[in-house]
């Protein structure tokens, strides 16, 4: 059974690594790995392949950056001949990035079975490009693997047949549990002069936050106050850099002396940073789940989340972008050791095995 596995952007790499590993138990499965090239900087791509032990892709489509339409179309145009040539039995896509929907659409139109890992998550916010990618990919998929019960409920409500849906757990957590001990050896805390539980980590990359200078300015009002208590480490995503440079006040160094900006970090350094943080501030999806497993409080700087289980488990607080709301949530957090971990029994490090087993059983 030949399966083309698609990756494009940074979070995809973290999700595909355990799946490729799990296929090894099933000799019937012949996996091919296609990298669309959506993320291409060495720190956004190669470093993740190396640290996560992902084999070299069989093919790199090298599409690079572009508007949504350009990037999606370029991926589709370059992926179609691959499917024509390889004639796979299935195409597997992960997550919700443009590479996910682009390759999903190609497979579905060519009559090739489509498998979606991380199906059913919904923010119910169609201004997010990822929400459109999720809804469309799920509508096309033949086999849908969910991380949490809300995903199953959403799919059933949208009319997806129950037999196509499988609640298997979270492959991003498979990677985290596999690499946590190794990440503990990273020297990133010493390199940045940080002490465990005495700093916060910040990530921002959503267009709704970083492309709007007024929004960025308001967020930085909250960060200015938080960094008086806790140094804030901010690894900057390349898409955030240009707008940050425009939006940040020229006296940022004086006003936020304890804000430490770095370039994008590798998987192991970032995992170590999260694991030892007092607090994480983020607009990412995956980080809400990773902090859940690590027992680290997370303030999500968005108006909604497609991952409600992270809020139910108790580590994640969706606080929006208003500085007063961010600060009041911050002040409500008790200075304490890591929170008691409450998670789904399926976030156990074995989701990829369940996925591979189900794929192997596919007709
Ligand atoms: C993409 C995903 C987003 C995911 C994020 C993880 C979509 C619609 N968005 O957002 O869901 O959370 O990846 O990081 O697919 N750039 C570089 N080097 C790179 C890659 C990007 O400099 O290796 C810069 C370019 O200026 C590019 C911009 O970042 O235009 C945006 O990249 P893109 O892949 O379009 O979206 P992300 O914001 O990374």
SS3 93: strand
Structural domains in the chain plus CATH codes:
2-170+347-360 (3.40.50.2000), 182-332 (3.40.50.2000)
* Closest CA to ligand 1's atom 18: 41
From the alpha carbon of 284, which atom of ligand 1 is closest? 12
pLDDT at 97 over 80: yes
* Distance from the alpha carbon of residue 237 to the mean position of ligand 1, in angstroms: 8
Whole-number Cα distances in Å, 323 to 207, 218, 241, 258: 18, 6, 21, 18
The string of pLDDT tens digits covering residues 109-165 is 999 999 999 999 999 999 999 999 999 999 999 999 999 999 999 999 999 999 999
The confidence score (pLDDT) of residue 245 equals: 85
If one residue of 38, 43, 306 were mutated to test the ligand 1 pocket, choosing by the most ligand atoms within 8 A of its CB, it would be 38
* Distance from the alpha carbon of residue 125 to the mean position of ligand 1, in angstroms: 19
DSSP letter (8 states) at residue 306: S
Torsion-angle region of 320 (φ positive above 0: left; ψ -120 to 50: alpha; else: beta): left
If one residue of 99, 100, 128, 238 were mutated to test the ligand 1 pocket, choosing by the most ligand atoms within 8 A of its CB, it would be 238
* Distance from the alpha carbon of residue 360 to the mean position of ligand 1, in angstroms: 32
Q: Which residues line ligand 1 (CB under 6 A)?
A: 9-11, 38-41, 44, 65, 71, 96-98, 129-130, 205, 237-239
- What is the number of other CB atoms lying within 10 angstroms of the CB of residue 81? 11
SS3 12: helix
Which of 39-48, 56-65, 207-216, 267-276 shows the lowest per-residue confidence on average (mean pLDDT)? 207-216
In this prediction, what percent of the chain has a pLDDT beyond 90? 90
Known catalytic membership, residue 205: yes
């Amino acid at each position: 059974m030949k399966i083309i596995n698609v990756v494009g952007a940074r979070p995809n790499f973290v999700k595909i690594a355990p799946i490729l590993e799990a296929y090894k138990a099933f000799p019937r499965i012949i996996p091919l790995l296609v990298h669309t090239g959506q993320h291409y900087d060495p720190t956004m791509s190669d470093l993740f392949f190396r640290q996560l032990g992902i084999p070299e892709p069989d093919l790199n489509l090298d599409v690079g950056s572009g508007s949504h339409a350009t990037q999606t179309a370029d991926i589709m145009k370059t992926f179609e001949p691959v499917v024509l040539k390889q004639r796979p039995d299935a195409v597997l896509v992960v997550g919700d990035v443009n590479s996910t929907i682009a390759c999903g659409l190609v497979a579905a139109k060519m009559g090739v079975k489509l498998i979606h890992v991380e199906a059913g998550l919904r923010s119910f916010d169609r201004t997010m490009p990822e929400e459109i990618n999720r809804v469309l990919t799920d509508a096309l998929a033949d086999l849908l693997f969910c991380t949490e019960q809300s995903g199953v409920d959403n799919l059933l409500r949208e009319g997806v047949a129950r037999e196509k849906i499988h609640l298997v757990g979270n492959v991003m957590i498979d990677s985290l549990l596999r690499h946590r001990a190794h990440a503990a050896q990273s020297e990133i805390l010493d390199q940045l002069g940080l002490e465990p539980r005495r700093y916060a980590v910040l990530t921002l990359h959503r267009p709704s936050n970083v492309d709007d200078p007024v929004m960025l300015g308001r967020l930085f009002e909250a960060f200015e106050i938080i960094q008086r208590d806790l140094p804030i480490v901010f690894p900057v995503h390349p898409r955030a850099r240009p707008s940050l440079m425009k939006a940040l006040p020229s006296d940022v160094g004086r006003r936020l002396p304890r804000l430490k900006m770095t370039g994008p970090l590798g998987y192991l350094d970032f995992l170590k940073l999260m694991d030892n943080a007092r607090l994480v501030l983020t607009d990412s999806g995956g980080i809400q789940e990773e902090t859940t497993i690590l027992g680290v409080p997370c303030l999500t700087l968005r108006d909604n989340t497609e991952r409600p289980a992270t809020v139910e488990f108790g580590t994640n607080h969706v606080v929006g972008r208003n500085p007063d709301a961010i600060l009041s949530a911050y002040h409500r957090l008790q200075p304490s050791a890591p929170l008691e971990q409450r998670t789904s029994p399926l976030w156990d490090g074995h989701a990829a095995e369940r996925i591979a087993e189900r794929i192997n059983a596919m007709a």
